[in-house]
A and B are shown apart, each in its own frame.
Chain A
Amino acid sequence: MSMKMLIIEDEEALASVLEEKFAKEKYEIKVARDGESGMSYVKSFHPDIVLLDLVIPKKNGFEVLEEIKTNKATESIPVVVLSNLSEDSDIKKCLALGASDYFAKSQHPINEVVEKVKGVLLRGK
């Protein structure tokens, strides 16, 4: 069975790059464009990993992260934050909330992001 990945990213161009790249890696993918629909996918789709943007409509990434990590049913799902909010304080906040890793999108080539996300899943196993 393939891994299930949920991508929560409001920027369509970025979401589709991620989707295409991870589809090649044989992930089963769902994309949510805002925090609320992201949360409903978390509950219905039961992803093995979540890629989460922070600045997204309806419910921001911090809130989504907190919700996932404070719910017994979902707390074990690894969440990788992908955001251009690259402040130290944002990174610390996400890691404290339980994020597995944090990447400033603009600082990393897409291939590197793919490798690092795969690494997170391997570590989790």
Chain B
Amino acid sequence: MKKNRNEKSVRVVLKGDIFSSAVNFFEDAFIIIDSAGAVFYWNKAAQKIFGYQRKEAVGKKINRLILPRRLVNARPIETMFGFGRVRGRTLKNRTLETPAIRKNSAKEFVVALSVSYFANNGKRYAIVAAKDVTKTKELEDRLLKTANDLRKFEMAVEGASDHIIITDPDGKIVFANKAVERITGYSLKEVIGKTPAVWGKQMPLDFYKKFWKTIKIDKKVFIGEITNRRKTGEIYTAESHVAPIVDENGHIVFFVGIERDITKEKEIDRAKTEFVSLASHQLKTPLTIISWYAEMLTNGDAGKLTEKQQKYLTEIYLADRRMVNLINALLNVSRIDLGTFSIESRRIDLKKVAQDALKELSPKTTEKHQIVSLSADQKSAKINADENMVRIIFTNLISNAVKYTPANGKIGIGIKNTAKGTAITVSDTGCGIPKNQQDKIFTKLFRADNARAVETDGTGLGLYIVRSILEKSGGKIWFESEEGKGSTFHVSLPPSGMRSQKGTKGLIA
């Protein structure tokens, strides 16, 4: 009975008060509970946040109303609101954050609770103001994560082994990592606020003009090799990537430049190229001796030979030729794999190169009674290309056709100009490429099973070399083939012809 009276008197205090009506306009939930945790007052905002009508809430334990089920037992009223531990002392206001739920929902959100206490008629009550802080909380978490991520990025950039700089749109350096000091030899103090000319300025003016045009006007990433100079005066080669970073309006905010010192790699590549060239030269001298002497013997320079002797010598001679071709192919492959070969494009006559290649193969085609046709209109045959490479392309494609086409078969070569550029086709009525091996045909050292059966002489390098040349020079190669019926290889070059490339050595035709 006594309890009831007490409650009434509190209600009266609240009801008649201006304070009471104001509470209903609060955006925050405003809840009053007694020391047992039972809800005594529940404003409109509380209804909005937790989903319960005042009628439903009043008299219920607050922890059962607002906490997720998993926390109800773990957070009894005494611990949450502290009534239990205090006897006769003034309770201190407290704030706490807790996960919460709405009526009929399991979706949790975070509320911040501010709790203050008052007493009435010897009974203690708590005023609980609750605010949904899920969004604030999420924002906080996100900011914290962003800060952590940023710190990680900063550490990664700072400690990266490649030289990384950030410049303003005028090229003035605003950030440089430690590798910049290590590679250029200049301290950060010496480079911040300056331009990369501190260690650059070693390339021809034209290079820098193109460089700035690419990143500033075209707003594209620049990738290239660049010569720089360390503080000590030592020249070094770097692989440089410079990217413009643009805002949503397309204005450049800053540039990011990454450089890797590749001086050592370049030296090793050069040494490898030199070694392979030298080795191939040394190998060719004895091979020349073998072929010239075999030739002298077959010519009868040392007297007449029997038929058998002739035959044996021819085998020696042909094996020697194979060896020379193999050395040339390996030499080319080593240059392709090192990426050190040069492409020198200039105006050439495709038809003439094709005719030369055909002429060289004519003993074979005559022997096999193959019907060879070459169609090209004179105009379209003149394009910009590296003559040696075009010779390699024709020689490989046509010699494959001759090799894998039986006697009396047909071989056709076509050169045509279309709007898309130059199209070359080499077709034959030969053994074709088995379907299940077609995807491997351009792989280094690969030879199709039926090709091995038809002809033992073959390196498996020809098509690999041809495709590598075309890939590097801006062209394409593909084919159609049916086993037992024949193959057609298509080569296309863009209207501008082959793209030139600087390198240490060309390829051997």
Contacts and interface: CB of A to CB of B under 8 A. Distances in A.
Contacts of B289: 11, 13-14, 17
Given A86-B508, A87-B505, A89-B506, A110 B281 contact: no
Interface of B: 277, 281, 284-285, 287-289, 291-293, 295-296, 299, 301, 324, 328, 344, 388, 505-506, 508
A85 interface: yes
A88 B388 contact: yes
Contacts of B277: 85, 87
A9 to B, nearest CB: 10
Given A84-B281, A88-B506, A111-B299, A106 B293 contact: no
Nearest to A107: B324
B23 to A, nearest CB: 93
A4 interface: no
B295 A84 contact: no
Interface of A: 11, 13-14, 17, 20, 55, 84-89, 105-107, 109-111
Nearest to A24: B301
Contacts of B291: 106, 109
B232 to A, nearest CB: 32
A105 B506 contact: no
A110 B284 contact: no
B292 A14 contact: yes
Nearest to B506: A88
Given A55-B281, A109-B295, A14 B288 contact: yes
Nearest to B507: A88
Contacts of A86: 284, 328, 508
A20 B297 CA distance: 13
Contacts of B388: 88
Given A84-B288, A106-B288, A106-B324, A13 B508 contact: no
17 contacts: A14-B285, A14-B288, A14-B292, A17-B292, A17-B293, A20-B296, A20-B301, A84-B281, A85-B277, A85-B281, A86-B284, A87-B277, A87-B505, A87-B508, A105-B284, A105-B288, A111-B299
Given A17-B296, A20-B296, A88-B505, 11 more contacts: A17-B289, A84-B288, A88-B344, A89-B505, A105-B285, A105-B288, A109-B291, A109-B295, A110-B292, A110-B295, A111-B299
A87 to B, nearest CB: 6
Nearest to A55: B281
Contact of B295 (A105, A107, A111): A111
B284 A84 contact: yes
Contacts of B295: 109-111
**Chain A interface, >50% SS class:** helix
A63 B288 CA distance: 24
B296 A106 contact: no
A54 B293 CA distance: 21
A26 B457 CA distance: 40
A54 to B, nearest CB: 9
B284 A87 contact: no
B472 to A, nearest CB: 16
Contacts of A106: 284-285, 287-288, 291, 324
B210 to A, nearest CB: 26
B244 to A, nearest CB: 38
Contacts of B324: 106-107
B24 to A, nearest CB: 93
Contact of B285 (A11, A17, A88, A111): A11
B260 to A, nearest CB: 28
A20 B324 CA distance: 24
Contacts of B292: 14, 17, 109-110
Nearest to B287: A106
Nearest to A18: B292
A85 B295 CA distance: 22
Contacts of A111: 295, 299
Contacts of B299: 111
A89 B289 CA distance: 24
A20 B299 CA distance: 13
A85 B331 CA distance: 12
A23 B471 CA distance: 49
A91 B302 CA distance: 34
B193 to A, nearest CB: 45
Contacts of B287: 106
B330 to A, nearest CB: 14
A13 B288 CA distance: 10
Minimum-distance CB pairs A-B, first 9: A88-B506, A84-B284, A106-B284, A105-B288, A110-B292, A13-B289, A106-B288, A106-B324, A17-B292
A88 B285 CA distance: 18
A89 B284 CA distance: 18
Nearest to A112: B295
B293 A13 contact: yes
A86 B292 CA distance: 18
Contacts of B508: 86-87
Contacts of A55: 281
